[in-house]
A and B are shown apart, each in its own frame.
Chain A
Amino acid sequence: MCPSVSKSVSQLSALTFIAKSWHNDACSQNGLPLTPNSISILGKFQFLKTIEHENLTKYIDVQRGKHERTIVVSEYYGSPLTEVFLKIPSDERLETILKIFFHCANGLCHLHQKDIVHHNLEPSNVLLDENFNVKMFNYGLFYMTRDNDDEYVSFPVGNIRYLSPERMLGNHGNPKSDIWSLALIVIELLFEISLWVNMKFSQIVRKILSYCTAGGSVLEKLAREHNVLVKYNNLDIELRNFLESCLAIQSKDRPSAEEIISKETFLKFYDAIQYKEMKKSIVEMLPIERLELTQVYYLWQLTGGDVQAELKKEGLIRSEAPILTVPRLFMLQNGKSHPIHKSQSSLFDHRIVTLNTNNLTERLLLVPKRAFYPLLHCPRLPNNFGIEMQSLPLVIRERNIEYQFYRIVLFARLLKAYPFTHDLIVEQAKIDIPPLLRGRIWACLLNVLPNGKYERIDKVTPNPTDRQIEVDIPRCHQYDDFLSSPTGHQKLKRLLKAWVTAHPQYVYWQGLDSLTAPFLITNFNDEERAFLSLYNFIPKYLHNFFLKDNSMVIKEYLTKFSQLVMFHEPKLAKHLNSINFIPELFAIPWVLTMFSHVFPLHKILHLWDKLILGDSSYPLFIGIAILKQLKGTLLESGFNECILLFSDLPDIVMETCVTDSQKMYEKTPKSVCHRKHVLRTEEPEVFDINSVELSDIQREISSRISANDLVHLLKNKPNDVIVFDLRPQNEFKRWHIDGSLNLPFTNLMLSDRRLEALTIERNNLNNKVVVVISVSHENACLFAEFLVDCDVQMVCILHNSINTLRSIVPSILVGT
């Protein structure tokens, strides 16, 4: 009866089954393809991961294989009751049985409170350790494979021996059915019997159904049938009556799990039935015992752990050669194939395998002990584990077990102390973000503090945007298992409705769904965190983009985008201008969804890792980085080709895109990206850019730089900046910026569009911010235009005339 087929001791186990496949391929009501049942299960399963209780094993992961194969990974613990049964010491027999009874009821109580029914309770799913502490196992099978009246699998859940009468008659969902099963298990222990061992399936069913019609005490009948009437009569009368009530034919007469655990019987044995944990000191613990189980599983996968392979090895996934099962005939009329082949390998096999973690243990034994408990504020013992690996490409770091171990341990520690560790988290996130903790880290970076308000927002009342939301959700990143599951749809809908309700000043624009998706998949089980992350993300990057009339905001944004393309990629920008391929034609979905509509989710995650660390200007550089990657094609293309290219964007290499945008972001002075419509925390000073209108940036090819930024550059990075001073020579001589070049505008012949014509060395301009200053703004613009025409990068114009400089920092000025 032992459900496990492998012998190695492990805390992780895997169970597999096949979801029901859709035989006829009708479409769902909205005309979209049907969701595979394994995906529905995957969505439903996620909630089970949140269950933590001392009498319940933890659910870790669910995976999908080909052909509706579904694999569930969960905690495994001790040995099943079927094995321990005989080891119960006779002198403490009653106490021990009561303890098992109590622990099971306690676990059931927790499940029932969460609206989960077990429906799979049998001795092999009750796991015990040496102290007879109980953890119930496999309690989510019924929950994850059904949703209201939809059944995602074709097989029944629950051992027929322990099935309550109403379940045999086809009713499901009543938590009281679990009480019946529990009572039978306890009775087997008390009477030291196995129920109906020699009876056939049909006889068992008849037996239980006969109890329903006959009336009288079920318990007594059971005892009589198994020749244990003496034990029945010797049973504590209170306990006997109580068990009899648990075996009431009518479910309403059975006590609830909550009533069981508050029963006085247990009070008498209060000490005996408590959960006794074996405390181990840190030194005794195995490395993996110091980690959370989800972390263990994540790292186990990084060491090459493959659940499917383990199941195959133990023969729990048996695959027949597909050619042997191919049908012979397929009729168009009824959409069915013939003959339908049902192989035994697709039947439900309730056995499990435990996952061998030896490999992981060995790897972790080599890790310095101190790394398990990194010190954060101790300069003498700095936390620099894995620092040598930081120069490796991100994909390698994400697959390296030691590196991920260091990062996870560190971040887990930092997150515990958030918000006090906010700055440390930002600093570490700049290096990289471990995928396992991404959702929580993002939330910290976005200054999210859970406040319980999400629960109280109205997410239900119908409103006019519902229709659009209903249309958008089944089209939002549906290749992703999470987002295409019914659970994912429900969650996304709730988040969107909550956001709309929380922002009466804004409207739902298409694209909000894509924008929400990354937060949902990183916080699938924490809607509040997903919501608050979105809530803080939008004002940071998309302030006022969701106004009913957002045209001014978008116009300014796209104009700024054009200017910045000119700033970094003048040649490309000029080409796009010449064919009239303006950002309005392609960049609106980029901006409005922060690229989440354009890329697959796994790429968005890496992109946003950096985006979230940047300010509101960062997305502009991502846009430029994408254009840069397509530069070759774009330069050769005309208007029509460009439109076609962007209608189905080719594969973009995300790593290059991230590093390019990062570089540009760092090189560009903040004021160059200045936009009026951003959320400001402080008012601009005199020497920052202010009062620049949309008409100004529409007119000017090159951006403006603020006096503050110029001074900052000159003081801190004098080699990264070159200044062209257009004033007449005599004024220049009186005072000028140290190191600036004087090109009196009146002498300039700008008709010859070559740098050489003005004897400017191109090499001097490479990789530098080129600042044009003049008393006359128009002159500065003309000269900047000339430079851009000569493909000079990073050209900008000083905002307000040069005279402003005199008033702030005379120290950078020199005169004769």
Chain B
Amino acid sequence: MIENIFNENSASDEVPKKNYDELDEEVITKLRNNEITVDETVKNLEKWYKDELLDYCEKDCPSNDEIFAQYYHQMVHSSSLQDILLKEKNYASKISSFVLRMEQEIGELNQIQQEVMDSKINLLDVETTSDDINQLLAQQYSASNLMRKQYESELEAKKGHQRNEYREWITSQIGNKLMSSSDSTPVGNKASMFPNVCEKPFQLEESFTIYLGSQLKSMHNIRILAADITDLCSPLVNENNELMINGNIQLGVYSSSLCGIVVLVPPGKSQVSANKKIIRNANLSTEFHFDPIDTQLESIQDDLKKINEGSSETSMSTRLKPGDFFITKHSNLSQAHLIFHLVYDDSTTEMNSRHPCILGLRNILKVANSYDCHQLTIPALLKHQMSEEMTMSWCVRRAELVLKCTKGFMIESSSWSGSELSTLQLLLPHDISEELFMTISSMVPNIFRVANPKIL
């Protein structure tokens, strides 16, 4: 039967062969006619080989950060974890109490100054002239500024000192460690996670296990919770000097399972700026691993300038636009290694799946995917606070949009060949009503396919 069906005179499916000899002759002739210059060829080849091949490149030593990363990762994944946490706690409590004292004294000074000023103003035109008041104002300002500067430089010195001491201590410890044992996990391995419970459990939260994909299904966790964004970026120690984090952040900092949080920042400012409370929290203890947050923000500003210098378009302003985001790195906040500061603005256009902020969210997921960020927290309403115009139906519509888009991006991410998100946290404003929370959390199983309970 087969014989009758097969078509005997088939067409060939081969691509016509190039005439390589002719092509080669062409380039050689070009070289001989100086249409291709030797210098150019040499330069390009050399650059190509040196940029791409380990044999040809100028080998540079691993940077200090890389070496420290290795040391620290080994240390933190050993019995020294307790010591490290204790040390960090002691350092942090010194800084935080110092900061508190500074804030208090500056506050007190301001109050006294205010009182003096008030009394002077009351006596205006009686005993004092406006010149007197201006003079006093200048005096007060310089006094309070002096005090702030003094404190700040002291703080900076303290932090610098701590940082050096700490890093030296880690480096010295690793020597002893290497002598005694070698039971450590290499850099890049997953951090062994402690149960991810915070000291202060959130009032409203719910967890789901979901499957994504039509044929091959991948499993992910979704946690929906109502909290203040700063609670997820809380400092190492609280006011009562208690350690607020349980080591997860320390264990994970150089691992390939990072935690990230999306924080919304308003657009339009020429200066790159982050959420003030988060900056304060980050400054409540020494950042041992990365630059202080203010320095990080400055480098971002510099990057932005450089980009604009490089681009010929004049339309590019130095301001960040909605959908752009910048990233800061942290080791001293409770639930985040990476903070994605997403420039957010919904005042101009209707929010839909093509809105710049949604596209920015997609890019965040993409960056998270390429840099092993396994847990990501996103504001599910793209708002950090409730407000008047956020009615029930508005919130439901907005949550549906964000959830559906995120689902789409997560499905898409399986083809990005990075590491997939294992936990997605959906953050709702802390002042959300319980009813609304329930409504939105009940949307999760409708939008995502929730895993069936396993029946054995």
Contacts of A325 in B (CB 8 A): 371
Q: Does B48 contact A (CB under 8 A)?
A: yes
Contacts of B359 in A (CB 8 A): 332
A328-B326, A344-B59 known; A321+B69 contact, CB < 8 A: yes
Contacts of B325 in A (CB 8 A): 329-330
Contacts of A216 in B (CB 8 A): none
Segment of A358-366, A430-438, A457-465, A580-588 in the binding face: A457-465
Contact B326 A209 (CB under 8 A): no
Residue of B nearest to A494 (CB): B13
Contacts of A268 in B (CB 8 A): none
Contact A329 B52 (CB under 8 A): no
Contact A651 B211 (CB under 8 A): yes
Cross-interface CB contact of A176 among B20, B296, B371, cutoff 8 Å? B20
Cross-interface CB contact of B49 among A160, A460, A598, cutoff 8 Å? A160
Contacts of B12 in A (CB 8 A): 460
Contact B45 A332 (CB under 8 A): no
For residues 366 through 391 of chain B, which have their beta carbon under 8 Å from a beta carbon of chain A?
366-367, 370-373
Q: Does B239 contact A (CB under 8 A)?
A: no
Q: Does B28 contact A (CB under 8 A)?
A: yes
- Distance of B116 from chain A, by nearest CB (Å): 45
Contact A333 B321 (CB under 8 A): yes
Contact B46 A201 (CB under 8 A): yes
Residue of B nearest to A339 (CB): B303
- Distance of B216 from chain A, by nearest CB (Å): 4
Contact A326 B367 (CB under 8 A): yes
- Distance of A417 from chain B, by nearest CB (Å): 23
Q: Which of A35, A68, A168 has the most C-beta atoms of chain B within 10 angstroms of its own C-beta?
A: A168
Contacts of B60 in A (CB 8 A): 344
- Distance of A348 from chain B, by nearest CB (Å): 5
Contacts of A209 in B (CB 8 A): 31, 38, 41-42
Q: Does B244 contact A (CB under 8 A)?
A: no
- Distance of B11 from chain A, by nearest CB (Å): 4
Contacts of B327 in A (CB 8 A): 326-330
Contact B24 A600 (CB under 8 A): no
Contacts of A148 in B (CB 8 A): 15
Q: Does A379 contact B (CB under 8 A)?
A: no
Contact B49 A156 (CB under 8 A): yes
Residue of B nearest to A167 (CB): B24
B interface residue count range (under 10 / 10 to 19 / 20 to 34 / 35 or more): 35 or more
A325-B371, A459-B10 known; A332+B417 contact, CB < 8 A: no
Within the assembled complex, what's the spacing in Å between the Cα atoms of A456 and B22? 32
Contact B449 A648 (CB under 8 A): yes
Within the assembled complex, what's the spacing in Å between the Cα atoms of A407 and B82? 51
A206-B42, A321-B188, A494-B13 known; A329+B449 contact, CB < 8 A: no
Q: Does A356 contact B (CB under 8 A)?
A: no
For residues 24 through 69 of chain B, which have their beta carbon under 8 Å from a beta carbon of chain A?
24-25, 27-28, 30-32, 36, 38, 41-42, 45-46, 48-57, 59-60, 65-66, 69
- A residues within 8 Å of B by Cβ? 21, 25, 33, 35-36, 38-39, 64, 66-68, 148, 154-156, 160, 165-166, 168-171, 173-176, 201-202, 205-206, 209-210, 212-213, 249-252, 312, 319-333, 335, 337-339, 342, 344, 347-350, 451, 453, 455-461, 477-480, 484, 494, 501-504, 535, 597-601, 632-633, 648, 650-651
- B residues within 8 Å of A by Cβ? 2-3, 5-13, 15, 18, 20-25, 27-28, 30-32, 36, 38, 41-42, 45-46, 48-57, 59-60, 65-66, 69, 73, 186-188, 211, 213-217, 253-256, 258, 296, 299-300, 303-304, 306-307, 316, 321-327, 329, 337-338, 356, 359-360, 363-364, 366-367, 370-373, 412, 414-419, 449, 451-452, 455
Residue pairs across A and B with Cβ atoms less than 8 A apart, 24 shown, are: A33-B412, A67-B418, A67-B419, A156-B49, A166-B27, A169-B31, A173-B18, A209-B42, A250-B24, A319-B188, A320-B188, A322-B373, A329-B304, A329-B307, A329-B326, A330-B367, A332-B324, A338-B307, A348-B53, A453-B3, A456-B6, A456-B10, A479-B414, A651-B211
Q: A250-B24, A333-B316, A347-B53 given. 12 additional CB < 8 A pairs?
A: A38-B417, A154-B52, A166-B28, A173-B20, A205-B42, A330-B367, A332-B359, A333-B324, A456-B10, A458-B7, A461-B11, A479-B215
